[in-house]
């Protein structure tokens, strides 16, 4: 079989000639490569440091169902973390996705209300988490009489991640071609049916990316939850005070009595975050494959 040589293939020699004629391009390429290398090295260093510092201290007693001062178990904190993620997403995902659908599919272009909502979401994104914690304590704990509870913490975190979910969903909906909508309308489908049967399935990978970012922030949050959910050990119900895995690690480190257990907790927290990101990425790829 005759081999076909590509006519537009750029060789290394051609690249060097191009960089010689345009030295600015070479400088930019070097800066990009250096930035990429520094990012990879920093990530590997952090992951390696956490694993080396924590893996030797992982032991079965850290996964006991009941916490005490001897075993310093992290299993109740893991269960509380899962509960916090689920409840927070139940609050934030419907509102975030619904707001994005309204702004893209229903609101008129140039709507002043939509501009105010977008400006508010961008402002909320830059507010420090401790401010959310103080607001949650004053509003949910005191004004609504929810006290220190998982529900107060979940409601506070839902407000924190709501702008992220809303903005990523909005961008995902904007990326769906208008031809999808026009084709659905041409076949006689209504507005609501077009959104739920055509537009949202095509935008699911982008929506999932926002949810992944939100889960990462919920799992790693400490400042807001200290003021709203508290630091009580043990498996907590919705109206009970409890600590998540990140708060558990913070408390152990702050006490100074269980540094090794805190390092082991950091390993588990890192593994959980990586697993969540990996599973979410697989789900997003599966949806993309089905869409294609």
What letter would DSSP give residue 239?
Answer: T
Contact in structure between 165 and 208 (CB atoms under 8 Å) = no
**Stretches in the chain below the pLDDT threshold 70:** 1-17, 19, 287-292
Q: Per the structure block, which two tokens stand in for 191?
A: 């507005």
Residue range 52-105, pLDDT digits in tens: 989 998 888 888 888 888 888 899 999 999 999 999 999 999 999 999 999 988
* Burial letters 235-250, b for 16+ CB under 10 A, else e: bbeeebbbbbbbbbbb
* Number of residues written out for the chain: 292
Write the burial class of residue 256 (CB in 10 Å: 0-12 exposed, 13-18 middle, 19+ buried). exposed
Cα 219 from Cα 217, distance rounded (Å): 6
Q: Per the structure block, which two tokens stand in for 85?
A: 């993620």
> What region does 138 belong to: left with phi over 0, alpha with psi -120 to 50, or beta?
alpha
pLDDT at 12: 63
């Amino acid at each position: 079989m005759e081999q076909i040589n590509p006519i537009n293939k750029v060789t290394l020699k051609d690249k060097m000639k191009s960089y010689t004629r345009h030295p600015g391009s070479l400088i930019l390429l070097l800066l990009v490569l250096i930035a990429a290398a520094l990012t990879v090295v920093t990530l590997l260093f952090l992951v390696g440091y956490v694993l080396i510092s924590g893996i030797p201290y992982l032991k079965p007693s850290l996964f006991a169902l009941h916490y005490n001062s001897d075993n310093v178990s992290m299993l109740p904190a893991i269960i509380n973390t899962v509960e916090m993620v689920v409840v927070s997403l139940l609050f934030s995902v419907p509102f975030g996705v619904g707001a994005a659908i309204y702004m893209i599919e229903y609101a008129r272009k140039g709507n002043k209300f939509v501009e105010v909502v977008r400006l508010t979401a961008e402002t909320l994104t830059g507010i420090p988490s401790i401010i959310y914690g103080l607001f949650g304590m004053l509003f949910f704990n005191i004004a609504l009489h929810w006290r220190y509870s998982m529900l107060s913490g979940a409601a506070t975190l839902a407000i924190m991640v709501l702008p992220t979910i809303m903005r990523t969903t909005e961008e995902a909906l904007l990326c769906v071609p208008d031809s999808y909508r026009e084709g659905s309308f041409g076949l006689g489908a209504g507005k609501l049916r077009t959104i739920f049967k055509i537009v949202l399935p095509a935008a699911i990978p982008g929506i999932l990316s926002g949810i992944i970012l939100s889960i990462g922030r919920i799992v790693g949050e400490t400042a807001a939850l200290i003021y709203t959910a508290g630091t009580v050990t043990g498996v907590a119900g919705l109206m009970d005070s409890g600590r998540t895995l990140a708060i558990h690690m913070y408390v152990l480190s702050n006490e100074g009595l269980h540094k090794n257990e805190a390092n082991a907790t950091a390993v588990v927290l890192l593994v959980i975050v990586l697993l969540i990101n990996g599973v979410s990425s697989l789900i997003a790829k599966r949806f993309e494959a089905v869409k294609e």
